[in-house]
Amino acid sequence: MITVAIVTRRLKEGKTYEDFRRAWYHTVGFGTPSKLSTVINAADPREIIVIGFVETDLDRYLAGLKIDVKERLANPLDEVIEPAIGRTFGILVAEDDFSASGAISYKPPSVGGKETDLAEVSRDLGEISRMIALASAERDRMKKETAG
C-alpha cells in the first residue's frame, strides 16, 4: 500500500523556503520507501505544500507516524511557519499515465500495475484514520509536556 500525505503550511512574513527547508528536513528516515515532494504555490509563494508518498503496510504505518512526530518535536517549525496547517492523508488508489496523444481507453484503478482492491482500501482507510488520530494526540501531549 502507498499512503499519501499532503501538508500545507504558510511561511511567516519574511521567512523563505530555504528557512523552511532547513527546519523541516528530516534527520531520521522512515525505514520504508518514502518520497516527499515540495511545492511552492504559484498563487501564494508563502504557501509550502509537501506531498509524501510512503510505501508501507498497516503494521508499519503507526511506527512511521511516530517517527514523524518525534522529528517535528525535535525540529519544530514554529519560528518559520504560521500556526494553521492543512493536513490530508489517504491511500493511493490509481496511477494514470495520460502522456500519449490521441484517444486513451479506460482502465480500472491500479498502482504499480496491480489492480486496486477498493474494498480493501475502504477497510484500510478506517484503520489509518485511527492511527493518525492516535499519533496526533501523542504529538499534542508531548508538545504540551515540553512547553510546560
Q: Which residues, in sequence order, are CB contacts of 139 under 8 Å at separation 6+?
A: 69, 72, 73
The pLDDT value given to residue 65: 82
Question: Domain locations in the chain?
Answer: 2-96+109-147
For the four alpha carbons of 12, 141, 30 and 64, in that order, the dihedral sign comes to negative
Q: In this model, does residue 110 exceed pLDDT 80? A: yes
* pLDDT (mean) for 21-42: 92
Look at residues 89, 74, 73, 75 and name the one whose alpha carbon lies nearest to residue 139: 73
What CATH topology corresponds to 2-96+109-147?
Alpha-Beta Plaits (3.30.70)
Helix (H), strand (E) at residue 10: strand 2-10
**Prediction pTM value:** 0.86
Helix (H), strand (E) at residue 65: helix 58-74
Look at residues 94, 97, 113, 115 and name the one whose alpha carbon lies nearest to residue 105: 97
pLDDT in tens, 48-104: 999 999 999 888 888 888 888 888 777 789 999 999 999 999 999 999 999 999 999
